[in-house]
Amino acid sequence: MAYRAIKYIFLFILSLMISVLIPISGSYGSEASTMESKLKAAFIYNFAKFVEWPASTDNAATNQLFVIGILGYNQVAKELMAIEDKTVKGKKLSVKTLSNTKQMRDCHVIFISASEQNNLTGILTTIKHKEILTISDMINFTEKGGIIGLVKVENKIRFDINLKAAEESGLKIRSDLLSLAREINH
């Protein structure tokens, strides 16, 4: 019963974050940018709680850590590093800035910054069929093969999900997260 209550609290918090009106337009300058980055980091952290990885995902390097990798430059990395003391799925959260695609293999989640737009095809090809949740705020990320795309709609952060890409990576996205998605690509 306690698990169900916790599950609904997390779901409530996630849906609150999605529906809250947070001004992220240019009129608020860097304050809005910081708020947007914090909100995206919160989304990324909470997405991990609603995705199931196969047992084979754990290896000697990562069995004590839940690793979120950041590929490319983005303010979101700073916000994620600020919550490194948290846990995900009973493991200590570790946030790593990645400098190349070889470093991605030990990650559970990879946030691909929009600065990597020109490298996206190669990045997604490198980790295709690997048990890694890909997230980005690039335009049309899920249409290009990414799993979760953060999108700004009417000054709110929403998200799209590419269910086929998730399944190809061996990941199961829980129905309660799917029900909150703006769009689901099959």
In-domain check, residue 12: no
Query: Strand 109-112 and strand 65-71: pairing?
Result: parallel
| Among 107, 99, 97, residue whose Cα is nearest residue 75 | 97
In-domain check, residue 132: yes
Cα 115 to Cα 148: distance, rounded to the nearest angstrom: 17
In-domain check, residue 9: no
Render pLDDT for 134-186 as a digit per residue (tens, 0 to 9): 999 999 999 999 999 999 999 899 999 999 999 999 999 999 999 999 999 98
Render pLDDT for 149-159 as a digit per residue (tens, 0 to 9): 999 999 899 99
Q: What is the pLDDT of residue 2?
A: 53
In-domain check, residue 18: no
Instruction: Give the type of residue at 102.
Output: K
What domain count does the chain have? 1
In-domain check, residue 107: yes
* 118-130 CB burial, b ≥16 within 10 A, e <16: eebeebbeebeeb
> Any idea what the CATH number is for the domain that residue 149 is in?
3.40.50.2300
Q: Which domain holds residue 64?
A: 29-185
CA distances, 176 to each of 12, 53, 89 (Å): 10, 16, 17
Cα 87 to Cα 119: distance, rounded to the nearest angstrom: 31
In-domain check, residue 6: no
Cα 160 to Cα 142: distance, rounded to the nearest angstrom: 7
3-state secondary structure of 58: coil
Q: Give the range among 24-38, 48-62, 83-97 with minimum mean pLDDT.
A: 24-38
pTM above 0.85, yes or no: no
| Among 100, 86, 102, residue whose Cα is nearest residue 46 | 86
3-state secondary structure of 69: strand
In-domain check, residue 139: yes
Cα 110 to Cα 116: distance, rounded to the nearest angstrom: 12
In-domain check, residue 147: yes
Q: What angle do CA 38, 166, 170 make, to 5 degrees?
A: 120
3-state secondary structure of 138: coil
